[in-house]
Structure 1
Amino acid sequence: MKTYFSFLLIFVFKICPAQTTYLDKVTKTTKKTYTYKKTKEYKLKLDFYKPRKLKGEVPLVIYVHGGGFSGGKRNDKNTINFATNLAERGYAVASISYRLTMQKLGFGCATNFKDKINAFNFASEDISYAVKFILDNKKKFNIDSKKIILVGTSAGAEAILNLVYVYNNKILARNFKFAGVISMAGAIVSTENITLKNAIPTQLFHGTKDKLVPYNIAPHHYCNKKDKGYLMLYGSKAISEKLNSLKKPFYLYTIKDGDHSWSGRPMQECTEEIIDFLYYDVLKNNKRQISFIKKSET
């Protein structure tokens, strides 16, 4: 009987290796909706996904959806699956709504470039208020204020990159710094403001044939110089090159011949790469510089 019991323990151990929090799925989750900003003109909400069984403060992922600053939702099926996946591994996740300031203006070449920049800044402002709301209720949400990571797709990626590397933030504390940022088909108006002081671990997903947001350096939507919406943008390749020159960590995931659909596909198809980045580059601070090229299958 003892021999059988010992063998059983060994067998179970071999087929059920120890699970690692933040790498493996270790808990069930709950979701609750909060209003984080309310004015006479608008009400902004967030969905908070909480890992149930973990004790102590946990890292927080802020997710910002895409949609050209005129559409998109914080709670579509893809987002719910993505947020739940992260929360099951131990991360708290807040998927936020923000002002869709381009609903009546559009976001193409006929839209004034100043309105595009304002859209970046208004979204960055709203994200900041969402973070402040959670920090002001830190005990309630039980998050680690030094481990807040931004994730965004398309317009959301532009907003978070703008927030980290361009936006003059007067909402959050002066000494506040995000722990990491994950951009899916995002870009910024300049890389000049990326410095040794503000650079943080940055993961970038981008298709080389994205016709809306440039992979490297090109005008937004590839507008002509005479267009009102002509705005030079610096995409994932340019951002990674700047971080490389500063010897700062980055994880560039290039999809060769990939289009703008890769603004959302990493949430389904690259979760292991995202989890790897969050664990090793953000939480463990391994300071890696990774460039990976994938051939697009579609």
Structure 2
Amino acid sequence: MRTFKWFVFFISCSFVSDSFAQRYKDVIYERIDTLSDVPYHRSVGLSGQMQQHLLDVYLPPQQDTSMKRPLMIFIHGGGFRNNTKVGAFNGLVCTGLAQRGYVAASIDYRLGIDSSNSDEVYFEAFVRAVQDAKAAVKYLKENALAFRIDTAQVFIMGSSAGAMTALGVAYLDQYEVPVSVSSKWGLLDPVKSTISSKVHGVVNCWGALTNLSFMKEGDVPVFSVHGEMDKTVPFDSSYSWHGFKYGSLPIFERALKLGLPTGYLPFPNTGHTLDSKKEKQGAALNEIVHWLFTQLKNNKSTGNAGIKRFEKEILVFDSLNNAINYPENSVLVTGSSFVRLWKNVAADLAPLSVIHRGYGGSNIPEMAYYIERIAFPHNLKAIVLYTGSNDLTVSNNDKSPVQILETYKQIIHTLRKKFPAIPIIWIEISPSPRRWKVWDKIEETNTLIREYSASQPFLHTVAVKNAFLDESNQPIGKYFGKDNLHYNEEGYVIWGNTLAPQIHKILDVK
């Protein structure tokens, strides 16, 4: 493997003067430096000829002082047949990331499809692309000192066939490659080196997998973007593109089920490549940047570190389900610590029969992960949920309102498998002094879920905010405990008295 020893820069740079700009999240440099056509690997192509593969590197400007910077490797699309490392979306992503302080690289790789055009030859093309991409990962890690790359923060992404390749780098194992393919094209990781081709996260832009079982518990995080009217690569699993059947939505669902940190950004009424619309691709980049920021090693939350941190509490729920014969048509009330600390929930919601299941400090991915175990053992009249508040905490790992909404949709999707027509009631995230700095994001989240619920049958929202805000629209401090987050005894009286009439009305309790 060739070691990089020289730099040629083509673009001058200038610093964005903004004292509030945050590296890796905001643009901090107006212009960046690029290095084109760096050789990184040679491999045998479909024609039997040896091919030299090149990559372009996008870097923060020379005056950047950071010695270890996260790396994003971008893989272009083109159906494994055409296109190059130089393209509009490639440039948008790589430039945008370098402007925010990342190192980015756009790679080329072996192209070509055997004339049979079968699903099998497309899988072979996929494997060849994964091999080349893994070689690029190793090359850039080997030259980490020259490029000032943090090898503990290497991400990979792609669009269309490039996204399929990126997913393969992240999730495909050697034993999952048919012997007929590996005997023809060699090992999935072709470069012999002590350097690992492991990446730390993957971004999938309108790609798909042939098999969701490639994704396993403990695998790396994944973020997906897809147009819901894509007629080339399925966003769901309604059709197949040459064997690639499982698009961004089932990938998101699989990640939630496995407890992998994940996110999903769908674009309604939008086709492949987001219809090549700059405004949509720009919006996608902004959401990708937000998600990547939460995955950087200094920003990861306890929830990202271990989806099962509340397993002991869930095991207690399992035991209660086995020990207690709950009445038919009970109301399940579940959620994070606000629900856990709601000690008078049964009295407040009487005469309804209540199953009380608060746990944590949990966040919304944890709710998605555990919701089957919490809800499915019961025959329920309704479900009341309070979740999302621990995803907006004035911290670097806060989720965007859109990501909270999309995860909430998946919780509903899961619940509807057993409870297709019961009311599901979401308690809007309430204000608190401790998280007042993100109240605008909380309100945006509340609005998104309220609008979504209004568009769906048997979905409802209830709110408490007016009871906890004073005339100047500030949290009323006397209702909160010492942590300025949870309610005190008086606050929970207000909470119960505010929620009960709304829930009773929805459930037609006289």
So what's the TM-score if we normalise by structure 1?
0.81
In structure 2, distance between residues paired with 1:35 and 1:63: 16
Q: Percent identity?
A: 26
In structure 2, distance between residues paired with 1:147 and 1:77: 25
1:278 lines up with 2:281 in the alignment:
no
User: How far apart are residue 128 of structure 1 and its match?
Assistant: 0.6
Residues 145-184 of structure 1, C-alpha deviations (whole Å, 9 max, x = no match): 1111111000101111122112424347586531211111
Structure 2: tracts of 5 or more residues without a match: 1-16, 44-48, 175-187, 305-363, 366-402, 410-447, 449-510
In structure 2, do the counterparts of structure 1 residues 276 and 17 end up closer, same or farther at CA, with 3 Å as the change threshold? same
* Equivalent residue, structure 2, for 1:37: 41
* Conserved? CA contact 2:160–2:273, under 8 Å: no
In structure 2, distance between residues paired with 1:69 and 1:264: 19
Residues 63-84 of structure 1, C-alpha deviations (whole Å, 9 max, x = no match): 0011111111211233223311
In structure 2, distance between residues paired with 1:23 and 1:196: 28
In structure 2, distance between residues paired with 1:54 and 1:273: 26
* Conserved? CA contact 1:179–1:282, under 8 Å: no
Which of 150, 160, 163 does residue 156 from structure 2 map onto? 150
Per chain length, whose mean CA-contact separation is higher, i.e. which structure has more relative contact order (CA < 8 Å, sep 6+)? Answer: 1
Structure 1: tracts of 5 or more residues without a match: 1-14, 222-228
* Superposition map of 1:68-79 within 5 A: 68-79=79-90
In structure 1, distance between residues paired with 2:293 and 2:18: 21
1:178 lines up with 2:199 in the alignment:
yes
* Superposition map of 1:1-298 within 5 A: 16-27=18-29, 28-33=31-36, 34-38=38-42, 41-52=50-61, 53-102=64-113, 105=115, 111-168=117-174, 169-170=188-189, 171=191, 177-198=198-219, 200-221=220-241, 229=242, 231=243, 233-262=245-274, 267-283=281-297, 284-286=299-301, 287=304, 289=365, 290=403, 291-292=405-406
In structure 2, distance between residues paired with 1:95 and 1:240: 25
User: How far apart are residue 260 of structure 1 and its match?
Assistant: 1.1
In structure 2, do the counterparts of structure 1 residues 180 and 91 end up closer, same or farther at CA, with 3 Å as the change threshold? same
Count of aligned positions: 266
SS of equivalent to 1:192: helix
* Conserved? CA contact 1:207–1:254, under 8 Å: yes
In structure 2, distance between residues paired with 1:120 and 1:50: 28
In structure 2, do the counterparts of structure 1 residues 95 and 205 end up closer, same or farther at CA, with 3 Å as the change threshold? same
User: How far apart are residue 219 of structure 1 and its match?
Assistant: 3.8
* Conserved? CA contact 2:130–2:169, under 8 Å: yes
In structure 1, distance between residues paired with 2:250 and 2:195: 27
In structure 2, do the counterparts of structure 1 residues 250 and 91 end up closer, same or farther at CA, with 3 Å as the change threshold? same
SS of equivalent to 2:214: coil
The letter of the residue matching 2:134 is S
In structure 2, do the counterparts of structure 1 residues 62 and 268 end up closer, same or farther at CA, with 3 Å as the change threshold? same
* Conserved? CA contact 1:58–1:143, under 8 Å: yes
* Conserved? CA contact 1:59–1:91, under 8 Å: yes
The letter of the residue matching 1:205 is V
User: How far apart are residue 193 of structure 1 and its match?
Assistant: 2.6
* Conserved? CA contact 2:137–2:197, under 8 Å: no
- Pick the structure with more helix per residue: 2
SS of equivalent to 2:213: coil
User: How far apart are residue 267 of structure 1 and its match?
Assistant: 3.8
Computed over aligned residues only, the root mean square deviation of the Cα atoms, in angstroms, reads 2.5
SS of equivalent to 2:83: coil
In structure 2, distance between residues paired with 1:206 and 1:77: 17
* Conserved? CA contact 1:82–1:267, under 8 Å: no
- Pick the structure with more strand per residue: 1
The letter of the residue matching 1:195 is K
SS of equivalent to 2:245: strand
* Conserved? CA contact 2:40–2:53, under 8 Å: yes
In structure 2, distance between residues paired with 1:180 and 1:51: 21
User: How far apart are residue 285 of structure 1 and its match?
Assistant: 2.2
